[in-house]
Structures are given as C-alpha cells and as structure tokens.
Structure 1
Amino acid sequence: MIPNVLSIAGSDPSGGAGIQADIKAISANGAFAMAALTALTAQNTQGVSGIHLVPPEFVQAQIKAVFDDISVDAVKIGMIANAGIAQALGEALAGRDVPIILDPVMIAKGGAPLLQPEAIAVVRDELLPMATILTPNLPEAAHLLGLDVATTRVEMQSQGRALCAFGPTAVLMKGGHLSDDDSPDCLVTADVATWFEGARTPTRNTHGTGCTLSSALAAQLAVTHDIPTAVAAAKSYVANAIAQADLLNVGSGHGPTHHFASLFRQSKDVFS
C-alpha cells in the first residue's frame, strides 16, 4: 500500500516552499500527501511580505480530522510560527505512534523571521522530544542551542549531538551553509554520526530546499522504515531537484527546485 504522509506547515503561494513544496516532494517520493496549514503567507521568489496565522485550535482541528479518518504513516512539521501553535502541535501529536520529521523553520531565505523568539523554547522543550528526525540547517541549529553558527564539520557534529540531548531519535545537520564547494549533511544519533556527502550545484534556485528535504525524508521513512536509508534517498532526490532547477522559469529571485524533474524527464522520453 502507498503510505500516507501528513505535512503540517505554512503555505507558499509561489509554490516553491511550504505546503506546496511538501505536497510535491511527498508525492514525488512515493507517498500520498496530506496537509494541515499553520499559516498563510504572501511571498514570492523575492521574499515574504505578509503572514496570516491560523488559530492554534484550528490547527489542532485539521490534524484531528486527518487522524480520525486516515492511517498516517509519517508526519512532517514545518513552519510553526508562534508558541501557541507549537503547544497545539504538541497536544495534537502526543501519544501518536507515528514517525515525526521536524524541520525547525525559523527564517525565510529572504531573511523574514518565520518563528517568533518566544516559541523557540516551546519547540525545543515540547516538540524536539517527539521528533524521530530533526532537520535543522546550521543557523537554525545555532538558534535552538543559543550558540554561534557552526562553520566546520567538527562544530556541525558537536551541535547535532547537543540537539540529540533534547530527545529526538536523530538529528540531520544540513551543511548547505558551509563555505566550501561541497554540501555535506551529518546524521547524528546518541551513538553514531554518519556523513552524507554531496556536491554543491551553482544555482540561485534553491527556494524551499529545507521544506523539500524534510518532506522527501518523511515519505522515504514511511516507505523504507530505516533512517539512514531514508536520508540517503531524500538527499539524492533533493540534489537532483536542485541540479535541474534552472530548467524552470519561476520568478526573478531565488526560484524553486524542480520537484518533478525525474517525472518530467520520463514524460519527455515517452512523448518525444
């Protein structure tokens, strides 16, 4: 059976990040995508110009409606926005026997804050212990820990280990912010650290890569039930989506990745 994956996140009307990216990535990775909205945003490839939050009780109602009717095989959490929504998510997901991928969305690519400062403690104390995999980029990890942003692999691994102490089964430290030619990610558990190497693609079209990776990871974990295998598959998928991003012509800023690059290529082969 095809697994069902629920994304809990904000909306991006330009289609490159948020719920829209999640649905595309989940679908492209072999799962049925469902969505519960935490926020509406007014944004495009150049930045975020407005945010309208969904009331916490309605966020809970969306999640309850899905779980009351549908077997959920994995949950991805993206934009949380404030402490009230963070608390609501903790209550709605408490006791659910389902893997949770938590992407701590804090700052949009254009610089707009997407998580209020007072919500950081709630996310750290209430949601991190529920997470199967936490997927922070380096600035997000630093915010959660109150430390400077990691600039080396040693610091990446150390901060991943520190985040594991808050309770997630694993932490995938994303190395895209390192200043070198590679883009390595480090999967850290209480016992071991595993590096996933990757070349850096020279493109400005990387809008929504964090959303895309965490959603692909949720789908892959629902399919494979193995964390390292799911990480490797999700990273490969995102690398291809970034490598093919320049085939798209979406906006004049940081454009989206090509979520369906493989499908488009297959379609072209079939109909050419």
Structure 2
Amino acid sequence: MRLISKCGFALAMLTAILMVFSSCGSRKTMVYLQPDSTQLNTVYEQHIPTIQPNDILTIVVSAADPKVTAPFNNISSLGAGSSVQTADLAQRPTYTVDEQGYITLPMLGKVKVSGLTRLQAIDKLRGELSQYIKDPGVNINFNNFRVSVLGEVARPGSFIMPTERVTVLEALGMAGDLTIRGVRQNVMLIREVDGQKSMHRLDLTKQETLNSPYYYLVQNDVIYVEPNKAQINNSKLGANTNIIISIAGLIITVISVLTR
C-alpha cells in the first residue's frame, strides 16, 4: 500500500509539472480582431507618416525636356548629405534629411521637408522647381522605411517596407506572425517623433485596434510582443525542466517495477 501511495504521489507530481509548463489557450486570448459592436472608422489619410530628420529620400525630377532635369538627377552633383542604401538604388539620387529637417538640392539649395507627408513634399518641390523647369514632375520615395519586430514572433528582425502604407498586422506578418506563446492582448509599439519616444499598447484580439492611431506604422517603429506566463515560467527553469520530468518518469518506472 505504501508503494502504491508513493506511485500515486509521483504521478500527481508529474501531472503538476506538466501543468506548469503547458498553457491552455482559448479563443478569447488567441483569435485576432474578434467581432463586436465597434464601428470601424480608420482612415489612412489621418495617419500618413511624415518625413523626419535622418530619413533617406529618393527624389527624381522629370520634364518634357530631359536635359533641363540633368542637374537634379545627376548623382555626381549630389552633396555630402546624399546616400545610396542598396544596389537597386545605385542609379537614383538620394538625399538625407539633416537634423534641422532640410535637404540640399542643386540650384535650389536647402529645402525644409521634415513634418511634410510624401505628397506634400512633392507639391513643395514642384513649386520650387517651377522657377527653373516648366511643369516639372517630382517623385519622392522613402529609402529607409524600416520597422523592427521583436519578442514572441516566428522571425524577429528589422524589415525595410516597400511602401509607407503599412499596418501592425502586415509587419507582424512579415515577421512570421506571433508564436502561440505571444500575448496578443498587450502588444507594445515604440514610436519616435521629433526625437521623442513614446510607448503604446495594442490589443490585437479586439476590433477597436483597427481604429487606433497606431494601427498604421511610421518609419523606425518598433513592435514588441511579450511572452505569456507559461513561457516566462519555463524560462526560469530552462534546461532543468527536462531533467525534472526525466527524474519523475524514472521514479514512476521504478515504483511500477517494484509493485508488480
């Protein structure tokens, strides 16, 4: 009877250990954007990213006569503030926004673009160029629209976005989505604007997240997904977890042999 009692105790101990290191997910904690009475009113135009100091911009000027745009599109004419990030951009002039929010263009000199959206900057440069070029065309693109995703995701890292219109869910998708151990109700977004950092929390299980001003990302945003309690508990024991389970299994095996 004593051996049977010990066997029962060992089984109870093993069950408790397994319960500690297993997490029971529910639909409420796992499913994204669960339906409710939220009225969706997110408008991208209200949250368009603006140009910030240290942004790298590709600027291409066009006109009916290509010769008149040569001073603006000739890479060799760019100032010290220009930079080329990738081989794909090697033949396009790029400009770095300085700490005061200016870029320096040939003939135009310094032009302030920080605080403007991409389209606003295009309109401003077209106006400035009109004194040299008839009906100029201007195209501006971000070269450094980077978003970092950290924590409990399949592929954490930094990602260069092909467009400035990117959402939290799209960024998480590029990182391979949250793991089953990631807390979906408390995703942290770290944002820097004009040198000031701020932190914001998003609950991905609620539709109201779609209305958040932080649903659309801006350049250099950082998304952090924290681990759930089971993962935190697991990290406390680390490699000892397998040892404890193995010992418990061995105890049960020995007791089973002795009680035959």
- Normalising TM by the smaller chain, what interval? under 0.3
The structure with higher relative contact order (CA 8 Å, sep 6+) is 2
- Structure in which a larger fraction of residues adopt helix: 1
Larger Rg: 2
